[in-house]
Structure 1
Amino acid sequence: MMLKLDELNGLICADFVARLAGVYEHSPWVAEHAWQRRPFKTLAQLKYALVASVRTAGVDAQMALLRAHPELAGKAMVAQALTTESANEQGSAGLTQCSPTEFARIQQLNADYTARFGFPFILAVRGPRGLGLSRGEIIETLARRLNNPADFEFAEGLRQVHRIAEIRLNDKFGFDPVLGHWVWDRAEELAAYSDPGFAERGELTVTYLTPAHQACAQTLAVWMRVDCGFDHVEIDAVGNVVGRYHAAASAPEVAPRLLTGSHYDTVRNGGKYDGRLGILVPMACVRELHRQGRRLPFSIEVVAFSEEEGQRYKATFLGSSALTGQFDTAWLDQQDAQGISLRQAMKSAGLREEDIPALRREPSRYLGFVEVHIEQGPVLNALDLPLGVVTSINGSVRFMGELIGMASHAGTTPMGHRRDAAVAVAELLLFVEQRASAVPGLVATVGMLQVPEGSINVVPGRCQFSLDIRATTDAVRDACAYDIQQELRRICERRDLRFSLEEAMRAAAAPCAPALQACWDQAVAALGLPLHHMPSGAGHDAMKLHEVMPQAMLFVRGLNAGISHNPLESITSDDAELSIRAFQHLIDAVGSKLP
């Protein structure tokens, strides 16, 4: 018999624990602690209560929970001593049908893993979609995670425990995240398109106006039109895919609009969800509205922006810049690595540059812009939270710098006579770290460091470096930049060096609009989840739209410690489902505020 929340909320502790038996392997104490957090209004709230029980239990209890899990394809499986849940999961993953080579490989990796970390390797073998991982994927993941730091792997083991528990709870409640599956499956289908040279290696790369890029656009347009029921679908003059779902008004062309979306291009060898999640989530919402025959008091306009990453050409936010009326025609003369200009690429794709000015949106017609995005960071993952509400997109500034000293012989130049440019930059790096660490919400990074024509036996006479500074406000960012430049001057004066520092990029901070952010707050709360506010350290299309209309963002937890711009970027269909439900709450909240 399937569980129901109302029934579960009314049970005494012993019965509550009994009904949740098997969710957490040999660990009834997790349910005992969660019982005290009743009543649960949503399944998501129950899931988080169980997670919170583990988070507050202490390291010893957490370690015991990890050790309560059996090895994959281990002694308990061979002896048929697994719990019913574990036996079903390992069997569905095909671990009972391992070849002798696969079995030996897993046994050795298991032994190495346990010897290193002190607990067995734990993996939710039913995977992020719930359909199951292949034996090859399981072995590859085990080998990869064997190289993780011990504290990281301890946390990752617990995250896998919670994912296993989530799937088992879904089974007990008969819950299937159908909408989340739709988004997850569409992301997989889009990932089939990749640029030449990358596709052959199984890597996802989609850069502006390549055949893979155009195939993505056409696919999105078909989904919008046929599967989701948008009233108007077009690919515009810069390659944006635009879908509109009309308002309930008798004259929908004059009704207000809510703008949403994200980008469908990727970085080289990137992930499947960066940008694309923010297109597919509102598409899923429109699909549900259409299925229900329901209209809103405003139109929904979903834009799959054609370019945000700046991978083929240096023009970034090309797609959203066209909507704000800030498309720079000088970009048309930029050339890619093969010497093809942006103008040529657009013409070959059938796009007309003379139509670009007409893409500018009139801000007064729009209620604002909202964007759903994978977090691209470890915060939500570390907090065991599926959703986070963004407060501001950080302002950023970038510099390219060079210190010039004097190259000299490494063996014959006494230490006190050196003008070592590399050591001076190293000193600056430490200051950068200390300065940024002193202020919450401020980050500073030296991501590029080079000694031109360096040699093992030469004191570096030159050292080049990059500097990236980001903060929730422009004032905090600029204060950090000023202090770093002052320290650079002091270092160079003391060491008798020269320097150059050129600003390469500057983007203003984009605080989220309070009214729209409050709608996201209400949406997350309605799902029964704790509310977590956070800044965005990465740039998004929302920061470009912020220049002309209110904007607000919702972050979705990423797997693998939130890694992004990487093939390991991933989400679960359960978290995708929650983001869709949050978006549905948001559009209802926005509609309720209209006259």
Structure 2
Amino acid sequence: MALTLEQLNTADAASAVQMLDGLYEHSPWIAQSALSQRPFTSLAHLKHAMVRVLEQAGVQPQLDLIRAHPELAGKAMAAKSLTAESTNEQNKAGLTQCTPEEFAHIQQLNAAYNARFGFPFILAVRGPRGTGLLKQEIIDTFARRLSNHPDFERAEALRNIHRIAEIRLNDKFGYEPTLGNDVWDWQEKLAQHSEPGYIEKGQLTVTYLTDAHRACAQRISHWMRDCGFDEVEIDAVGNVVGRYKPAQDGGKYLLTGSHYDTVRNGGKYDGRLGIFVPMACVRELHRQGKRLPFGIEVVGFAEEEGQRYKATFLGSGALIGDFKPEWLEQKDADGITMREAMQHAGLCIDDIPKIQRDAAQYLGFVEVHIEQGPVLNELDIPLGVVTSINGGVRYVCEMIGTASHAGTTPMDRRRDAALGVAELALYMEQRAAQDGDSVATIGMLQVPNGSINVVPGKCTFSMDMRAPTDTQRDAMVSDVLAKFEEIAQRRCLQTKQELAMKAAAAPSNPALQTCWEKAVAALGVPVYRMPSGAGHDAMKLHEIMPQAMLFTRGLNSGISHNPLESTTSDDMQLAVDAFSHVLAQMSAQ
């Protein structure tokens, strides 16, 4: 018999502790302490309360908890002395049916891990979907995490323990993140489409107007029709557009969506999460036969990453009238122009100006996106409300000194270009840290024609600087450029710099941001506000209408643009619930 929150909230202390028995391996004190915060408004509220208890407990209790867990496919499993919960989890992952070779390999990994960290390897083997990881995924993760820093690995073990507890709690309460599972499944199915040279390796690559890209567009459009959208089309640049009409003709629309193209060998959720979350919401409205005072327009933007052609934000840019005709003559690596690719895909180039949106017909733009960073993951918070998309500048630079013999040139006579850039890089790190949420990066650094025995006479490098407001960004850029010149003068070097890109910050619309905040609070999880360091389609729509974004936590340190990019169906469910709450708020206005 599944528990209910009402039963938990009203039970006496001893009974409540018993209800939550087994969530944390041999550690009932975590749930016991969290129960002091009753009543809980949601399972997410309870989950986060337990996260905070462990966070505040200190290092030694955390280590004790980790050490209370059995090894994967270890001695306890062989002796059949696992807890019922652990037995169920290891069985679902197939660990109870290991071949002798697999069992021996896992034992070697267990021994190496324990020797390095002093505690057992912890992994939520039921995985992000709750249905169980493949054995090879488990072994690969085991091997990868062996190289982590001990402090990081302790935190990663705790994050996996919280995920284990989350799934066990779901089981106790008979809770299934049904819509989150659907969103997860859509993304898994869409990831079956990838380009030649990548698909054979199990890698995901979908660039603008390739066969894989066009297959994705068709699949999204079919799913939109299945969800009950009134109108579905693939527009003149390849955007997939679904419109769910308002209760009365003439009503405005809420615009939402994200991109379905990927970087090369990328992740499954970057962009695509922002298409499927609102699709799930529209499907539920359709199932209920419900219309809102406004319509919902979901756009799967055809291009955001700039991988095949140098035309980043092409899909969202076209909607605001920012499609540059000269892009049509760009050639990809195979010499195919964008014009030829669009004609081959059956797109009507002459219709591109017609898809520009009239901002007066829209309430604004909202976007759900995986965070693509480590912050929410490290805080163990499932959702983040975006305050601004950082403005950024990029420079391509040179530091020029004198190449000379590495053995005969005294240290006080050198004009070393590499050391000049090294000093600048360290200053950029310090300067960005002063602002807290500014970032500065030298991502490319080369010594042209460098030799092992030659003092570098020239360095070419890039600078990327971003901040939540243009004022903050510009102040940092000014300081860095001034330091660039000061270092050069002091070291008798010369400089060159070329501005390669400048993008304005896109602060969230206060009203829309407040909608996201109220939605997150209603779910019973903390309202965490944060800037977005990455660029998003919302940046383009910001130029003509109000916008605000919601982030979902990523796993594996929040890594993105990488096959390890991941998030859970439980967090996806929270994103769907938050989006539905925003729709309800806007309907009541």
- Residue of structure 1 aligned with 2:373, choices 355, 377, 391: 377
Equivalent position to 1:280, from 266, 276, 295: 276
Residue in structure 1 matching 2:547, options 548, 551, 561: 551
Deviations 1:149-207 (A, max 9, x none): 11111111001001100111111000111100100001001111111111111111111
Which residues of 2 match residues 339-488 of structure 1 at below 5 A? 339-488=335-484
- Listed one character per residue, the Cα deviations across residues 473-499 of structure 1 (whole Å, up to 9, x for unaligned) are 101111111111111111111222111
2:336 counterpart letter in structure 1 = I
Q: Aligned partners of 2:141 and 2:65: how far apart in 1?
A: 21
Deviation at 1:556, TM superposition (A): 0.2
In 2, Cα distance between equivalents of 1:92 and 1:198? 30
Q: Name 2:96's counterpart in structure 1.
A: 96
Which residue identity is paired with 1:575? D
Cα offset, 1:12, TM superposition? 1.9
Question: What CA distance in whole angstroms lies between the structure 1 residues aligned with 2:72 and 2:408?
Answer: 59
CA distance in 2, matches of 1:138, 1:498: 52
**Identical columns (%):** 67
Instruction: Give me the whole-angstrom Cα distance separating, in 1, the residues matched to 2:427 and 2:526.
Output: 36
The whole-number CA distance in structure 1 between the counterparts of 2:442 and 2:28 is 48
Structure 1: which 5+ runs fail to align?
A: none
Q: What amino acid does structure 1 have at the position aligned with 2:114? A: T
Name the CA distance, whole Å, in 2 between partners of 1:323 and 1:445.
Answer: 31
- Which residue number in structure 1 is paired with residue 287 of structure 2? 291
2:436 & 2:108 partners in 1: Cα distance? 44
Matched AA of 1:521: E
Match of 1:562 in 2: 558
Give the TM-score normalised by the residue count of structure 2: 0.99
Name the residue aligned to 2:128: 128
Aligned twin of 1:513: 509
Counterpart AA for 2:234: I
**Aligned partner of residue 435 in structure 2, secondary structure:** coil
Distance of 1:205 and 1:467 partners within structure 2:
27
Partner in structure 2 of residue 218 of structure 1 = 218
- Distance in structure 2 (CA, Å) of the matches to 1:325 and 1:196: 33
Distance 2:274 2:417 in 1: 45
User: Is the partner of 2:37 in helix, strand or coil?
Assistant: coil
Residue 228, structure 1, aligned to residue 227, structure 2: yes
Answer with 187-196 or 404-413: which moved more: 404-413
Question: Is 1:12 paired with 2:9?
Answer: no
Q: Where do residues 147-162 of structure 1 align in structure 2 (5 Å cutoff)?
A: 147-162=147-162
- Structure 1: which amino acid aligns with 2:271? G
Tell me the SS of whatever aligns to 1:303. Answer: strand
- 2:296 is matched with 300
Query: Secondary structure of the equivalent of 2:258?
Result: strand
Q: State the match for 2:206 in structure 1.
A: 206
| Alignment partner, residue 55 of structure 2 | 55
Tell me what 1:167 maps to.
167
Q: Which residue of 2 aligns with 1:187?
A: 187
What is the rounded CA distance, in whole Å, between the counterparts of 1:349 and 1:464 in structure 2? 40
Report Cα offsets for 1:387-441 as digits up to 9, x if no partner.
1101100100000001111111212222222211111111111111111111121
Instruction: Give the alignment's Cα RMSD to 1 decimal.
Output: 0.8
Structure 1 stretches of 4+ with a deviation exceeding 4 A read none
CA distance in 2, matches of 1:344, 1:233: 25
Letter in 2 for 1:72: L
Q: Deviations over 1:263-319 (max 9, x none)?
A: 000011110000000000000101111111111110000000000001111110000
SS at match of 1:36: helix
Note the C-alpha offset of 1:523: 0.5
C-alpha separation in 2, matches of 1:413 and 1:352: 64
Aligned length: 589
**AA at the equivalent of 1:116:** R
Q: Deviation at 1:582?
A: 0.4
- The match for 2:87 is 87
Give the letter aligned to residue 517 of structure 2. Answer: D
Secondary structure in 2 matching 1:469:
strand
**What letter is aligned with 2:274?**
G
Matching residue of 2:112: 112
